[in-house]
Structure 1
Amino acid sequence: MRNAPDRRCARKYIHGVPKIQASRWLLVRLSAIAALFLVWQLVALAQIWPAAVLPSPGQVWRQLLSTSDFGNGQGGYAGSTLVERLGVSLRRVGYGCFYGVLLGLVLGLAMGLVPVVRAVTEPAVAFLRALPPLAYLSLLVIWFGIDEEPKVYLLMIAAFPPVAVAAAAAVSGVNRQYVEAAQALGATALDVIRAVILPASGPEILTGVRLAVGIAYSSVVAAETVNGADGIGGMVLNAQRFNQTAVVILGLFVIGITGLVIDSLIVAAQRALSPWRGRA
């Protein structure tokens, strides 16, 4: 019976924030978004710039209905619906992030556990981290052609440095007393990595994954500059060539909103895997 009040109190909080305060923050954010759209609509009505430069929210909404092909029979945009294009881009981002995160995690663990590996590979990781994706896109096209390979490799290379850096820093920062205690209890090296190092460094690694996914997703337009007309980035680039500003803005909104959803899912996973963070 003593735990009942505690449960009731726990329900009043969302990740350490009171529900009332969380509701207020949500209301503030929605109000800010509504104000932004209102200003956008007022500027469009004032015709400070022509509609070809700054279309109204209504024009972008009509492009959403048209490109989504909600029973209008127009076939979306250039033969593909918005959902189909988004699915193609998300598939590329998924493959690139999967391989990039896997490579970054393995390399980051090695860098954090073995000083020699860190001394050898850290300059190369820092070098790739400093390069913008477009800097090595042409080289990837020369090596792998214009099919799917250069796009996936571009996103993979963009994704793995943040994970490698975060994993190396997290592993090297694990409290040595935990490792020594596990070894004193007879744990093998693999047991220490699995039961001590990974759980202790997990939150920082997930932060690196969050950064990696954001970088890869923001690079999807660059990846689809090469024979990527079937993706959402290809739609944006094609619309830019024909001065279809409403389609360009629609594509940017879709990329931004889906990126926000993906980021929220990663944050939720981070909170679920490390519920103690921010409460100590």
Structure 2
Amino acid sequence: MLLMTETLARGAPAAATRPGTAAPREAPAGATPRWLRRGGRATVPLLPVLVFLGLWQLAAVSGLWNEIFVPYPATVWRAAVDASTTHDGVRGYQGHLLWEHLYMTLRRVTAGVVIGVAVGVALGLAMGTVGWLRRILEPWLTFLRALPPLAYLFLLVIWLGIDEAPKIALLALAALPAAAVATTAAVLAAPVGLIEAARALGATRAQVIRDVVVPSALPETFTGVRLAVGIAYSSVVAAELFNGLPGIGGMVKDASNYNNTPVVLVGIVAIGLSGLVIDALLRAAERRAVPWRGNL
């Protein structure tokens, strides 16, 4: 009796556990709920989408806005199906299927990003290792970063025409500053101790850059590449303002001329979803190329 009283005074549970049975374990603070562990992880990201669609449907049904401004989700879905198929003798949108528009946009973005990132990373590496070059080029990069793509699109059209060249050039110019600035900062942040140790062991300047500076700068460089791709992809509608069909940006621009809001929304969703896929691929490439990130 005395032992039971002491146990209760210490805050032990009143209910005794039967012999041979394990005491119920309480979930630790911050633990993942059981329903989430049973497959809810795949559905949780869909919850905001479902909530958004529900609010969108309510806004369309309410009649507060004209359907030109807030079309029904079903209307946008039909526009996506029509843009992806041949119906009533009409092939997709303006004679091209949705995947063809997306393919042309991705081809332009890929060409522009490859050029812009390659030049930007090379410039960043040079600026990070050569002080006088950094002092000369840094103001120009800052100037270019401050310019919106539309500011120099018309100049590129005057110089290069309305074919593919101005589109790719605009996307390259949009991607270049982010890659250059991130690479420069990553090179400047290379561990001084490792650099001095490599020099003490007799490494040349080229060997120090190759074996110490570049590996330590790779993680932040990949971050700059992801930013560059995002900036270039967000500029694709501007790049395809002129002669942008086929292309998602050209499709959006053409549909906006006729207040075709469903097709505009289809283009926006296509750009956003493909951007998510591209970013996921870049993350996977980063994990393979820089497996030591976060482990140092």
Letter in 1 for 2:132: V
Percent sequence identity over aligned pairs: 50
Letter in 2 for 1:254: A
Letter in 2 for 1:30: L
1:194 shift after superposition: 2.1
Letter in 2 for 1:202: L
Give the paired residue count: 264
Question: How far apart, in 2, do the equivalents of 1:188 and 1:81 lie?
Answer: 55
1:152 shift after superposition: 0.6
Which one of the candidate residues 87, 91, 96 is aligned to 2:107? 91
CA RMSD of superposed structures (Å): 2.2
Q: How is 1:160-199 mapped onto 2 (pairs within 5 angstroms)? A: 160-199=176-215
Question: How far apart, in 2, do the equivalents of 1:172 and 1:203 lie?
Answer: 13
Letter in 2 for 1:61: W
Match of 1:220 in 2: 236
Match of 2:118 in 1: 102
Choose 69-78 or 26-35, whichever is displaced more.
Answer: 69-78
Which one of the candidate residues 247, 250, 253 is aligned to 2:266? 250
Q: How is 1:1-280 mapped onto 2 (pairs within 5 angstroms)? A: 26-69=42-85, 74-279=90-295
Letter in 2 for 1:173: A
Match of 1:9 in 2: none
SS at match of 1:83: helix
Question: How far apart, in 1, do the equivalents of 2:234 and 2:73 lie?
Answer: 23
1:75 shift after superposition: 0.8
- Mark the CA change 1:156 to 1:71 in structure 2 (over 3 Å): closer, same or farther: same
- Mark the CA change 1:38 to 1:70 in structure 2 (over 3 Å): closer, same or farther: farther
Question: How far apart, in 2, do the equivalents of 1:18 and 1:188 lie?
Answer: 52
Question: How far apart, in 1, do the equivalents of 2:218 and 2:53 lie?
Answer: 39
Question: How far apart, in 1, do the equivalents of 2:222 and 2:177 lie?
Answer: 13
Higher Cα Rg: structure 1 or 2?
Answer: 2
Long gaps (5+) in structure 1? 1-16
Higher helix share: 1
Question: How far apart, in 2, do the equivalents of 1:262 and 1:72 lie?
Answer: 34
Letter in 2 for 1:152: I
Superposed CA deviations along residues 141-195 of structure 1, whole A, max 9, x for unmatched, are: 1111111111111000000000100000000110122122223334333322222
Question: How far apart, in 2, do the equivalents of 1:49 and 1:110 lie?
Answer: 55
Task: Tell me if the contact between 1:112 and 1:118 (Cα under 8 Å) persists in the aligned partners.
Answer: yes
Letter in 2 for 1:109: L
Task: Tell me if the contact between 1:66 and 1:72 (Cα under 8 Å) persists in the aligned partners.
Answer: no
Choose 170-179 or 155-164, whichever is displaced more.
Answer: 170-179
1:28 shift after superposition: 2.9
Superposed CA deviations along residues 72-91 of structure 1, whole A, max 9, x for unmatched, are: 75310010111001100101
Choose 61-70 or 176-185, whichever is displaced more.
Answer: 176-185
Match of 1:10 in 2: none
Question: How far apart, in 2, do the equivalents of 1:266 and 1:107 lie?
Answer: 21
- Mark the CA change 1:91 to 1:239 in structure 2 (over 3 Å): closer, same or farther: same
TM-score (norm. length: structure 1): 0.88
1:268 shift after superposition: 2.3
Letter in 1 for 2:243: N
SS at match of 1:229: coil
Task: Tell me if the contact between 1:225 and 1:233 (Cα under 8 Å) persists in the aligned partners.
Answer: yes
Letter in 2 for 1:231: G
